[in-house]
Amino acid sequence: MKLNKIISKEDMAKRTVELAKELSDHIGEKENPVFIAVLKGGFIFAADLLREYPFSAEVDFIKAKSYIGKQSSGKIEIQYFPERELNGKTVILIEDIVDTGKTLKYLKKFILDKGAKKVLICSMINRIIKDREINPDFSGFPVEDSRFLVGYGLDVDEQYRLLHDVFAIEEKK
Contact status, residue 46 vs residue 94, Cβ threshold 8 Å: yes
Given 60, 99, 145, 155, the catalytic residue: 99
Distance CA 44, CA 78 (A): 20
Are residues 57 and 32 in contact, defined by beta-carbon separation less than 8 angstroms? yes
State yes or no: is 131 an active-site residue. no
For residue 7, give the 3-state DSSP assignment. strand
Instruction: Give the whole-angstrom CA distance, residue 168 versus residue 173.
Output: 15
Q: Which residues are catalytic?
A: 99
